[in-house]
Amino acid sequence: MIRLKRALIDCQDSSFDNRLKLLKHNLQTAIELEHATIPPYLYALYSIKTGQNLEIAYLIKSIVKQEMLHMSLDCNVLNAIGGHPKIDYPRFIPHYPGHLPGSVENSLIVPLAALSKQLLLDVFMVIEEPVHTVDGTDPPPDGITIGEFYQHIKAEISALSAHQNIFTGNPEKQLVTGFPELQTMAVTDEASALAAIDMIVAQGEGSDTSPLDPEEELAHYYKYAEIYHGRKLIPNPDPAPGQPAWVFEGHRIVFDPAGVYPVISNPHDKNYKDNPRIADLNLTFNRTYSDMLRKLHDVFNGEPDKLALALLSMQALREEAQLLMTQEVVPGQTAGPTFDYIPA
């Protein structure tokens, strides 16, 4: 929290050009932050066996899809102010276990691990936590939340826009396809930039008064909380004074641990050095993942037609990951993808 606030304070004390440069840096960090959640979420999703825990798989898949949307919105904002999203480089993929970019939840260590209720509570719900929840379970503060991170960016966009127009980027670099939301959310000015960021925060956290995002879907935090509590979140049918307006009393969401592959946590290629078949399968996955990042880099740097190819690469990842997850690497545990960057 201190590091991010210090950067923004320094920005306010410097020249306009330096402040704009730092804003671009912070938006690049936002892109990396949104991406950093995707490998852990995918690892947990892929660990669900085909045909098992179907409602849970659907919920996690819907979150991953919106994280991709959030990356896209951040790229659109950065492009709109004349920046250049950087996705195709080795450090774009974080190390797991490790911290989130931008000092968000700075004491949290994010792993690659099989889906479990403990993972949901200790990691995924912490990543997505709001400052205030509507279910009566406000988590203790532990660094800044994603929403607070974005509030700093919004404040700087408004401050710089009040000084002069910062939206000088090429409008042809705006991605307006691939997600329904993007069709009406091209970023061209301060208002559209702030609206894009508001959507990111609302889809992750909801608001202080509702767990729903602008599309009337549950925000990410509450979807993960539903899986953890094993119940759908519904409006409290008989809210007494001081009681939460929303409660986990809807239909049951049954989590069957037997429907999850016993994959190792935080795999490293050294885990597979004595098993050429598993090493080769892991390399194939990493090449597909790195190729997808290269295509996304091109998409957000003036080649939007490559989006379909990037999505095809993402579809291939599940089959490649789940093939890995059927391979026993140590007694009682199976392999998992390492999410390493492979140069072209």
Q: What is the 3-state secondary structure (H, E, C) of the chain?
A: CHHHHHHHHHHHCCCHHHHHHHHHHHHHHHHHHHHHHHHHHHHHHHCECCCCCHHHHHHHHHHHHHHHHHHHHHHHHHHHCCCCCCCCCHHHCCCCCECCHHHECCCCCECCCCCCHHHHHHHHHHHCCCCCCCCCCCCCCCCECHHHHHHHHHHHHHHHHHHCCCCCCCHHHCCCCCCHHHHHCCCCCHHHHHHHHHHHHHHHHCCCCCCECCCCCECHHHHHHHHHHCEEEEECCCCCCCCCCEEEEEEECCCCHHHECCECCCCCHHHHCCCHHHHHHHHHHHHHHHHHHHHHHHHCCCCHHHHHHHHHHHHHHHHHHHHHCCCEEECCEECCCCCCCCCC
- Residue 207's pLDDT band, with cuts at 50, 70 and 90, is confident
Q: Compute the average pLDDT of residues 194-203.
A: 94
Q: Compute the average pLDDT of residues 289-296.
A: 96
Q: Which residues pair with 241 in a beta bridge?
A: none
pLDDT of 10 above 80: no
pLDDT of 190 above 90: yes
pTM: 0.93
CA-based nearest residue to 41, from 185, 204, 156: 204
Cα–Cα distance measured from residue 102 to residue 74, given in angstroms and rounded to the nearest whole number: 14
pLDDT of 74 above 90: yes
Given this model, what pLDDT does residue 138 score? 67
* Cis peptide bond upstream of 337, omega within 30: no
CA-based nearest residue to 152, from 253, 277, 30: 30
Amino acid at site 228: Y
Cα–Cα distance measured from residue 193 to residue 334, given in angstroms and rounded to the nearest whole number: 44
Cα–Cα distance measured from residue 52 to residue 48, given in angstroms and rounded to the nearest whole number: 7
The pairing of beta strand 328-330 with beta strand 231-235: unpaired
CA-based nearest residue to 101, from 61, 160, 159, 150: 150
Lowest mean pLDDT among 71-85, 128-142, 216-230: 128-142
Q: Which two tokens stand for residue 129?
A: 């936590």
pLDDT of 5 above 70: no
Cα–Cα distance measured from residue 257 to residue 264, given in angstroms and rounded to the nearest whole number: 15
Q: Which two tokens stand for residue 137?
A: 């379970």
Taking all residues of the chain, what is their mean pLDDT, rounded to a whole number?
Answer: 91
User: How many residues are there in the chain?
Assistant: 344
pLDDT per position as a tens digit, 87-125? 998 889 999 999 999 989 889 999 999 999 999 999 999
Given this model, what pLDDT does residue 140 score? 62
Q: Compute the average pLDDT of residues 295-309.
A: 93
CA 177 to chain centre: 19
